[in-house]
DNA sequence: TGAATTATACTTGTATTCAAGTCATGATAG
DNA sequence: CTATCATGACTTGAATACAAGTATAATTCA
């Protein structure tokens, strides 16, 4: 056997590894908005050639997380208020629709029981991250929670689009949560949503979720005033 | 000057050209669902090397229009009933939301006047394509019409996602429209929608649009029975 | 004869090489 | 001193070369 220690080499292609690594670096703001990056630089960082990096960049280009200036270089996309609001709008539309489609099965079918436990786990994880001040962990738990909400709608395409929208929203959220100020409110809204959902009040649930998802709109202006260099327009 | 005749060489990158060409070939069904394709084959067809083809494929992969089987080849994605319904659901959610967001300005602001003329032009184009039996032209005019509906919402992100969803829906529609049977109904629904919209009846407009967009659900089963080899699952 | 094994001819994945555009720098001509 | 034009050091874009996995055909051995 070529690999007696089971030190399994990453069997994902280098392109995928590059994609995930670069994307994560952008979303976590380790690669800050507006920063110039170069294919060679990324390739060296990731110990690979330019080829897989280029393929990863190609995907990040579609997601508008990177911009390429031909023959001049690339840069991490600046945050655009317009783009953020567009993404937020799309997310609200889809997540509300998913909630409406799923609410029937929330009680009746198999989803209900299994989901409710996991929802509690997600909430617990979020509370814990809030206590320890782990912003990144908080956002992960938040994503977990919202994914569970959508799960019952059984629409992977929808979930993946929402995830794509989240990419643009998360950079704002990461910045706005630096002081972990409003996290308590967010968690409370999650809990409220769950209780209304188990009570079966569709309209109230939709209203709560809509309100919850619009909260970001206030943050944008604040964040922009704190980090003007991260913004475009 | 190197080019005295103004024979402007395509200034788009080869990657982009490849992407558009391959995508168009898939959507028009010239590359039929399930057909095996190879990077070399496509590169030869397009008179370029594998490199730009690979970059194009990378994007088509994200859109789920192509599948790659490592070290074995690629194939044009089969039509999936599940995927089609997921895409249709997403489209309905977004297009309805856009309509609701835009309906206010349909009368009042600048959009109204400019749009209405173009809407009539789009409808005319659609009627003409219906007469001449031009399926591809019909779908293009249809897309034009729906783009105009969404335009007033001023959300490019939303429009681009709907366009992505349309890719999966269009293959079904292209097949179902081969006999140009229901086109009259579709056009009439468009006209109705416009008149209700100018009348300012939001709820009725939403109801009409929803109904219009759900029409595809019936077609899928019919198309599948006619072209079973194009389907997965 | 038949099953296991080795060639072989494909494929995609990745690295490397070459081409061509951009920009800053500095020499050069006026 | 100023404006213009080479020059060179970058960049991304694209082509080619090489590596490695897969499936099929050919071959060997029992």
**B90 with A15: Cβ contact below 8 A:** no
Which tens digit of pLDDT belongs to each residue from A33-71? 999 999 999 999 999 999 999 999 999 999 999 999 999
Rounded Cα distance between A92 and B96, Å, is: 12
List of domains in chain B: 14-76 (1.10.10.10), 81-230 (1.20.120.530)
Using a CB-CB distance cutoff of 8 angstroms, which residues of chain A are in contact with residue B70?
13
The nucleotide whose C1' lies nearest the CA of B38 is: C11
**B156 with A54: Cβ contact below 8 A:** no
Which tens digit of pLDDT belongs to each residue from B16-42? 999 999 999 999 999 999 999 999 999
Burial of A221 (0-12, 13-18, 19+ CB in 10 A): exposed
The secondary structure of chain B as a DSSP string is ---TT--PPP-S-HHHHHHHHHHHHHHTTSS-TT-EE-HHHHHHHTTS-HHHHHHHHHHHHHTTSEEEETTTEEEEPPB-HHHHHHHHHHHHHHHHHHHHHHTTTTTSSHHHHHHHHHHHHHHHHHHHHHHHT-HHHHHHHHHHHHHHHHHTT--HHHHHHHHHHHHHHHHHHHHHTTT--SHHHHHHHHHHHHHHHHHT-HHHHHHHHHHHHHHHHHHHHHHHHH-GGGB--
- Alpha-carbon gap: A117 to the closest alpha carbon of chain B (Å): 26
B227: number of CA atoms within 13 Å, CB side? 21
Using a CB-CB distance cutoff of 8 angstroms, which residues of chain B are in contact with residue A90?
94, 155, 157-158, 161
Instruction: Give me the phi and psi of B7, to 5 degrees please.
Output: -70, 75
Which tens digit of pLDDT belongs to each residue from A191-232? 999 999 888 899 999 999 999 999 999 999 999 999 999 999
- Alpha-carbon gap: B189 to the closest alpha carbon of chain A (Å): 24
Which tens digit of pLDDT belongs to each residue from B118-149? 999 999 999 999 999 899 999 999 999 999 99
**B86 with A157: Cβ contact below 8 A:** yes
- Strand C contact at CB of residue B207, distance < 7 A: no
ipTM of model:
0.91
- Strand D contact at CB of residue A75, distance < 7 A: no
């Amino acid at each position: 056997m070529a690999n007696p220690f089971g030190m399994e080499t990453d069997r994902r292609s280098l392109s995928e590894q590059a994609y995930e690594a670069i994307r994560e670096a952008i979303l976590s703001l380790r690669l800050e908005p507006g920063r110039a990056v170069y294919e060679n630089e990324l390739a060296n960082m990731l110990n690979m050639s330019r080829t897989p990096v280029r393929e990863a960049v190609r995907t990040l280009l579609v997601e508008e997380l990177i911009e390429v200036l031909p023959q001049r270089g690339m840069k991490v996309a600046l945050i655009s208020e317009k783009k953020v609001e567009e993404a937020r709008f799309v997310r609200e539309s889809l997540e509300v629709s998913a909630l409406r489609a799923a609410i029937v099965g929330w009680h009746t079918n198999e989803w209900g029981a299994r989901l409710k436990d996991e929802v509690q786990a997600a909430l617990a994880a979020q509370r814990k991250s809030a206590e320890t001040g782990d912003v990144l962990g908080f956002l992960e738990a938040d994503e977990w929670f919202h994914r569970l909400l959508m799960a019952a709608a059984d629409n992977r395409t929808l979930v993946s689009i929402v995830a794509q929208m989240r990419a643009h929203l998360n950079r704002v959220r990461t910045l706005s949560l630096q002081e972990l100020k409003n996290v308590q409110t967010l968690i409370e809204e999650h809990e409220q949503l769950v209780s209304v959902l188990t009570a079966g009040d569709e309209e109230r649930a939709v209203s709560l979720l809509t309100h919850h998802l619009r909260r970001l709109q206030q943050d944008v202006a604040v964040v922009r005033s704190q980090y003007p260099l991260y913004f475009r327009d």
